[in-house]
Amino acid sequence: MDKFSPHYFTVRVYYEDTDAGGIVYYANYLRFFERARSEYVRDLGVSQQTLLDENIAFVVKKINMENHAPAKFEQEITIQTIISELKRASMVFKQSIYFEDRLLVSAEVQVACVNLLKMKPCAIPSLLYKECLRVN
């Protein structure tokens, strides 16, 4: 069992997200996961624009994604995001996409905090780190 509370983000599948058959194109799941992580951070009260103004960003270091079933045009899908590992300069998220109660896609995403001026890893800002700990 994960020690952190899950975050949920819902989005509708638009035509632009799909292939010619009305099925979500696999690379677009990465966009849905990214949006869900961004909304998670926003809901924790941390502005990514403020982080960027301080030359801090998060970059995806590693992702492992598994497709279980397709999402389809006009479905309203829910992305569940859980922090499974929190370190001083990186986090691992477990993310799942559901349509109703059916698991469609799962992923484990490792992100690293970087100083954009130096392009080197740096500590996660203390406000965000503390907020991540709070939601456990």
pLDDT of residue 134: 85
**Per-residue pLDDT for 39 more than 50?**
yes
Across the range 11-30, mean pLDDT stands at 96
Catalytic pick among 2, 17, 19, 53: 19
φ and ψ at residue 38, rounded to 5 degrees: -65, -40
Query: What integer pLDDT is reported at residue 3 of this predicted model?
Result: 65
For residue 65, give every residue at least 6 positions away whose Cβ sits within 8 Å of its Cβ, in sequence order, or none.
29, 30, 105, 106, 107
pLDDT digits (tens, 9 = 90+) for 79-123: 999 999 999 999 999 999 999 999 999 999 999 999 999 999 999
Q: Is 101 a catalytic residue?
A: no
Nearest 5°: CA angle at 114, between 109 and 116? Answer: 130
pTM across the whole model = 0.93
pLDDT, position 5:
86
Backbone angles phi, psi at 32, to 5 degrees: -65, -40
Residue 1: pLDDT band (50, 70, 90) is very low
pLDDT digits over 51-74, tens only?
999 999 999 999 999 999 999 999
pLDDT bracket for residue 135 (50, 70, 90)? confident
- Looking at residue 97, what is its pLDDT? 98
